[in-house]
Amino acid sequence: MVPLLLFILLGLTVLVLFEWRARRQTEQQRREEENAIKERQRQNTEGECCGQHLVCERELPPKETPDYYDDEELDALAGIPASDYTPQQQQLVRDVFLTLHETDVIGWVRSLQMRNIQLPPDIREEALLIVREQRALSRQHS
């Protein structure tokens, strides 16, 4: 009878050890995954924009209404893909863009995003360049 009890006790001890090891590995893997996610988020918040939009929303306070830059006529472009703009519509966007002061470009682009207005690719590239320059200047002055 004693050998049977020792055998059962040994078996239970082995099962408990295996369960403990499995849980420990699972917790360690979970921690490693969480650390990897936090590292990716940290990297995204440090350098350039994450690439999902022209102006990183995480760098700007949340807004409920867009600001207008004397560009109410652009509201007619809401919901239209930039690739479908007519030459006149592209020129309308360019005319507004050319009247902006460089320090207003970040806010203007954000306003367009809130209004669901896309920038034509050539203007988008110019605006992105200005946004990067403005961010670099603000980092230098910080």
Same domain for 27 and 62? no
Residue 57, pLDDT > 70, answer: no
At residue 75, the pLDDT reads: 95
Same domain for 104 and 35? no
Same domain for 105 and 77? yes
In this structure, is residue 19 part of a structural domain? yes
**Average pLDDT for 76-93:** 94
In this structure, is residue 52 part of a structural domain? no
Maximal C-alpha separation, the chain? 96
Same domain for 79 and 123? yes
DSSP 3-state percent helix, strand, coil across the chain (nearest 5): 75, 0, 25
Same domain for 5 and 65? no
At residue 42, the pLDDT reads: 62
Same domain for 120 and 70? yes
Of 46, 66, 82, the position where a domain reaches its end is 46
Same domain for 71 and 38? no
**How many domains does the structure of the chain reveal?**
2
Same domain for 61 and 35? no
* Mean per-residue pLDDT of the chain: 80
Same domain for 127 and 98? yes
Same domain for 65 and 41? no
pLDDT in tens, 115-137: 999 999 999 999 988 888 888 87
Tell me if 88 sits within 8 A of 66, measured CB to CB: no
Q: Which structural domain, as residue segments, surrounds residue 126?
A: 57-141
At residue 37, the pLDDT reads: 67
Same domain for 104 and 74? yes
pTM over 0.85: no
At residue 56, the pLDDT reads: 53
Q: What is the DSSP secondary structure assignment for residue 79, as one 8-state letter?
A: T
Residue 26 or 127, more confident: 127
Q: What is the DSSP secondary structure assignment for residue 134, as one 8-state letter?
A: H
- Residue 40 banded pLDDT, cuts 50, 70, 90: low
